[in-house]
Structure 1
Amino acid sequence: MPITSIAVGTPAEAVHRETLKAALAEFISTLIFVFAGEGSGMAFNKLTDDGSTTPAGLVAASLAHGFALFVAVSVSANISGGHVNPAVTFGAFLGGNISMLRGILYWIAQCLGSVAACLLLKFATGGLETSAFSLSAGVSSWNAVVLEIVMTFGLVYTVYATAVDPKKGNLGVIAPIAIGFIVGANILAGGAFDGASMNPAVSFGPAVVSWTWTHHWVYWAGPLIGAAIAALVYDGVFIGQTTHEQLPTADF
Structure 2
Amino acid sequence: MEHREEDVRLGANKFPEKQAIGTAAQDKDYTEAPPTALFEPSELSSWSFYRAGIAEFIATFLFLYITILTVMGVSKSDSKCKTVGIQGIAWAFGGMIFALVYCTAGISGGHINPAVTFGLFLARKVSLTRLVYYIVMQCLGAICGAGVVKGFGKTLYNSKGGGANVVNPGYTKGDGLGAEIVGTFVLVYTVFSATDAKRNARDSHVPVLAPLPIGFAVFLVHLATIPITGTGINPARSLGAAIIYNNEHAWNDHWIFWVGPFVGAALAALYHQVVIRAIPFKSS
2:133 corresponds to which of 105, 116, 127: 105
For the residue of structure 2 that corresponds to 1:196, the secondary structure is coil
Aligned partners of 1:13, 1:127: CA distance in 2, in Å? 44
Verify the 8 A CA contact 1:33 1:68 in the aligned structure 2.
Answer: yes
Aligned partners of 2:155, 2:58: CA distance in 1, in Å? 22
Equivalent residues in 2 for 1:225-240, closer than 5 Å = 225-240=263-278
RMSD: 2.4
Output the amino acid matched with 1:132. A
Aligned partners of 2:236, 2:79: CA distance in 1, in Å? 24
Deviations 1:123-156 (A, max 9, x none): 1335532231111112111111111111110100
Verify the 8 A CA contact 2:194 2:208 in the aligned structure 1.
Answer: no
Aligned partners of 2:198, 2:118: CA distance in 1, in Å? 19
2:53 corresponds to which of 2, 23, 37: 23
1:131 alignment counterpart:
163
Q: CA deviation at 1:210?
A: 1.1
Aligned partners of 1:240, 1:27: CA distance in 2, in Å? 35
Output the amino acid matched with 1:163. T
For the residue of structure 2 that corresponds to 1:20, the secondary structure is helix
Q: Residue 79 in 1 paired to residue 114 in 2?
A: no
Higher Cα Rg, which structure: 2
1:247 alignment counterpart:
none
Which ranges of structure 1 fall in alignment gaps of 5 or more residues? 244-252
For the residue of structure 2 that corresponds to 1:168, the secondary structure is helix
TM-score (norm 1): 0.87
TM-score (norm 2): 0.77
1:189 corresponds to which of 206, 224, 228: 224
For the residue of structure 2 that corresponds to 1:166, the secondary structure is helix
Q: CA deviation at 1:57?
A: 2.3
For the residue of structure 2 that corresponds to 1:35, the secondary structure is helix
Aligned partners of 2:176, 2:35: CA distance in 1, in Å? 31
Output the amino acid matched with 2:148. L
Verify the 8 A CA contact 1:22 1:80 in the aligned structure 2.
Answer: yes
Verify the 8 A CA contact 1:14 1:102 in the aligned structure 2.
Answer: no
For the residue of structure 1 that corresponds to 2:253, the secondary structure is coil
Range with greater deviation from structure 2 (78-87 or 13-22): 13-22
Cα 1:233–1:208 change in 2 (3 A) is same
1:206 alignment counterpart:
241
Verify the 8 A CA contact 1:144 1:194 in the aligned structure 2.
Answer: yes
The ranges of structure 1 where at least 4 consecutive aligned residues each deviate by more than 3 angstroms after the TM superposition are 4-7, 49-52, 125-128, 169-173, 240-243
Q: CA deviation at 1:56?
A: 6.0
Q: CA deviation at 1:240?
A: 4.4
Aligned partners of 2:130, 2:173: CA distance in 1, in Å? 31
Q: Residue 49 in 1 paired to residue 87 in 2?
A: no
For the residue of structure 2 that corresponds to 1:137, the secondary structure is coil
Aligned partners of 1:110, 1:80: CA distance in 2, in Å? 12
Output the amino acid matched with 2:190. T
Aligned partners of 2:207, 2:103: CA distance in 1, in Å? 13
Q: CA deviation at 1:5?
A: 4.4
How many matched pairs?
Answer: 238
Q: CA deviation at 1:66?
A: 1.1
